[in-house]
Amino acid sequence: MVKSSIAGYPVIGENREWKRALEAFWSKKISEDDLLQTTKEIRLANLKKQQDAGIDFIAVGDFTLYDRVLDTSVMFGIIPSRYNWKGGQVSTSTYFSMARGNDEAVASEMTKWFNTNYHYIVPEYEGQRFELTENKPLAAYREAKKELGIEGKPVLLGPYTLLKLSKGFEDNDVPSIILQLIPLYQRVLQELQDEGVQWVQIDEPILCTSISSDEMKTVTEIYSQLTNNLSGLNILLQTYFDSVEHYTETIALPVAAIGLDFVHGREKNLDNLKQHGFPKDKVLAAGIVDGRNVWRSNLQKKLTLTETIQQQVSPDKLWIQPSCSLLHSPVTTRSEQKLDQTILNALAFADEKIEEIKAIQTALQYGKEKFTKVFEDSEAALTAFNALPARNNKEVRQATSGSLLSDSKRNLPFAERKVKQQEKFQLPLLPTTTIGSFPQTPEVRATRNKWRKGEITNQQYKDFVNAEIKEWIDIQEDLGLDVLVHGEFERTDMVEYFGEKLDGFVFTEKAWVQSYGSRCVKPPIIFGDVAFTKPMTVEESVYAKSLTDHEVKGMLTGPVTILNWSFVRDDLSREEVTNQIALALRKEIEALEAAGIHMIQVDEPALREGLPLKKAEWKHYLDWAVNAFRVSTASVEDTTQIHTHMCYCDFNDFIEAISALDADVISIETSRSHGDLVEAFNEYHYDKGIGLGVYDIHSPRVPAVEEMTEIINKGLEVLEPNQFWINPDCGLKTRKREETVAALKNMVIATVQAREKLGVVAVK
């Protein structure tokens, strides 16, 4: 009989209770005991939902206070020395210091989880001896069983994925690291077996990346050792986000079940299943419902897919589940009261995806004919949705198939533009700026909410925003920054703001997902064809420019980031949707330029996360992603300076593509990597303007001048002074006013000192 399984569930709660508890604890409004009690209640409520839905195998241990990779690092004592941990159980204070930093130590690096918008804390190897500080999966299993009677499926991040996501080691360190990890994993598994646990889920999404044959041999050896002395404990090796790279080797691993993604890795995994079959003594956990998007499943198509899989796998050896953890999905559509009913009927969040899994499982067990209405409702909802005029805009479709997409080249090459731009702007050596946003104080958020609720007029809201802009223009001038920004006080989110002003988007009330730590985002939903309607940013940018003699950057979010940070319609290719966005943004950039804004920043922090997991597919993605950015920006004058911003990622992998964007200036998040990123420029001669972020904005600490000076000096080792900009890592909206001013003051001091060291000369 086919079983149902869930690989993971959102931690945040229907109303972000988890976020509020964390932030209350960090601000010392509640105690640690209060935090742990509140999060326990959220955790048990999440499990109870799945239990009530009748899920056969419920994941336990997927809940976190910040990040599951950080949880694993802490569990195995992979803790950098700067946190002064002396062994034994790790305190909550040390845990959060690794995530957020403290007065004495910077936070650990944070980067994207594969090709998603979730961020994890990067484990740091310093040659330390690992130790098992706590068996977290066992504690989660015991809690679920004691409190709810759930025979849970503990979840554990796999050893090879943990290794590959870590930093600080050389290739020749790998064997010793693995030799340290294996006994710790063995102990965790042995304790689970001794407890009577039947199934444990070990996540190895790294198997869906382009790992080599030799690496796969290492994985095989690891699992041979892990399972050597296990008898009563069954291991589900779970993969997701794509097809596995080495199918035959993966299904031969000495585990009881293999989890495969039949959504994002559907074609290749299906082909492999048909060509090579599947071991008759193993369970296949088939991810058939999209765990990363928000669209309702066509139940008939999902049933047909499952029946196709059943041709290779007997019903008693088949589990059906979402394609990955539902961490990447909002919690429930029941919280949405204002959406158009036709659109709402086409959506499915975490709770609804669980219902879909159960519907398909029940149809397989008892026959679809007994559940005809459920399948008919699915078909009818999607038919009505697809018929919406907004999903069939002929003018937009014609534009994206026309010649505009080939108009993606600036009039002059960068070297010639640079001369004209310096003549125009007369910037000093090492110009200083920020990434765009300034603190969104409680007053800013409260005033925006009043405006949205109709409690204040449009003019009152505009006056308030203008007052904030003026205050921060004055602050920037006083600090001595060279290029200013208006602060984005009118914006809730860098994607949502633009989606609200473009056709083709719809917005939810409570469809939040975790991005990093307590940071939750409410991604727009691209349900229709994207079209420009009227200028979106011109008014605020022009007002800010009227207040100062300094240059003020116009601030936009780029087409690829709008795509990657939205839930995207699944009936068109992502390339086609991005091109629609690019053509809309092109009109906005032209409007800014016409209004006298000649520095325009088009942020693409999500360019990296859109990279496919398979390296063979990178070129195709980067070709269309880079072209979309250039389509957005190519029509401006030579003297208009295009900036862009990117969050930290492995720039060595695609620095040529970054250069191909042809942005005049790029700013990059680097501080958490302690300047390591500059090594990329030893390998590649980058000739355009670049700002390597000199301090971490995700941490509340104010970095010393000396820390920023160190990063500046590292940057100057590989970059020419006349191409180097000084800026923070990222936008400052989540920071408080006092710490923002203090940090920027130190940044300007560090810059002035660097200029003095270089000698104050005109930029050539």
Binding residues for Zn(2+): 645, 647, 669, 730
Can you tell me which residue has the tokens 């980031």? 561
Quick check: 169 and 125 in contact, CB under 8 A? yes
| Secondary structure (DSSP) of 345-389 | TTB--HHHHHHHHHHHHHHHHH-GGGGHHHHHHHHHHHHHHHT-G
Residues in contact with 650: Cβ distance below 8 Å, sequence separation at least 6, in sequence order: 608
Binding site for 5-methyltetrahydropteroyltri-L-glutamate: residue ranges?
A: 16-19, 112, 519-520, 565, 609
CA atoms of 441 and 735, how far apart (whole Å):
8
Q: Give me the phi and psi of 25, to 5 degrees please.
A: -70, -45
Radius of gyration (C-alpha) of the chain in whole angstroms: 26
- Is residue 655 within 8 Å of residue 626, measured between CB atoms? no
Binding annotation: 16-19, 112, 435-437, 488, 519-520, 565, 603, 609, 645, 647, 669, 730
Give residues with Cβ within 8 angstroms of 459, minimum separation 6. none
Binding residues for L-methionine: 435-437, 488, 603
Compute the C-alpha angle 66/237/608, nearest 5°.
55
Report how far Cα 42 is from the mean position of its chain's Cα atoms: 23
Q: Which two tokens stand for residue 369?
A: 């004919």
Tell me how many degrees the CA angle 484-492-698 measures, rounded to the nearest 5. Answer: 70
Task: Show which residues are catalytic.
Answer: 698
As a 3-state breakdown, the chain gives helix, strand, coil percent values, each rounded to 5, of 50, 15, 40
Q: Select from 543, 530, 658 the least CA-distant residue to 584.
A: 530
Q: Give the bridge partners for 567, in sequence order.
A: 525
Q: Are 517 and 734 in contact (CB under 8 A)?
A: no
Under a CB-based contact definition with an 8 Å cutoff, are residues 293 and 567 in contact? yes
Please tell me the distance from the alpha carbon of residue 281 to that of residue 295, in angstroms, as a whole number.
34
Instruction: Please report, for residues 151, 406, 485, 637, 651, the alpha-carbon distance to residue 5 in angstroms, rounded to integers and kept in the order given.
Output: 12, 47, 49, 56, 37
Q: Which amino acid is located at 624 in the chain?
A: W
Q: Quote the distance between the C-alpha of residue 66 and its chain's center.
A: 14
Phi, psi torsion values for 266, nearest 5 degrees: -60, -55
Query: In angstroms, how far is CA 331 from the centroid of its own chain?
Result: 17
CA angle centred on 94, ends 91 and 99, rounded to 5°? 130
3-state secondary structure of 60: strand
Q: In a 10 Å sphere around its CB, with 0-12 CB exposed, 13-18 middle and 19+ buried, how is residue 263 labelled?
A: buried
Q: Is 70 helix (H, G, I), strand (E, B) or coil?
A: helix
Report DSSP letters for 477-498, one per residue.
Answer: HHHT-SEE--B-TT-SSTTHHH
The one-letter code for the residue type at 291 is: G
Contact 15, 331 (CB under 8 A): no
Distance CA 193, CA 187 (A): 10
List of residues 6+ apart from 339 with CB closer than 8 A:
347, 506, 508
In whole angstroms, give the CA distance from residue 743 to residue 748.
9
Q: What is the rounded CA–CA span in Å between residue 22 and residue 27?
A: 9
Q: Which among 240, 43, 260 has a CA at the least distance from the CA of 136?
A: 43
Q: Is the CB of residue 709 less than 8 Å from the CB of residue 692?
A: no
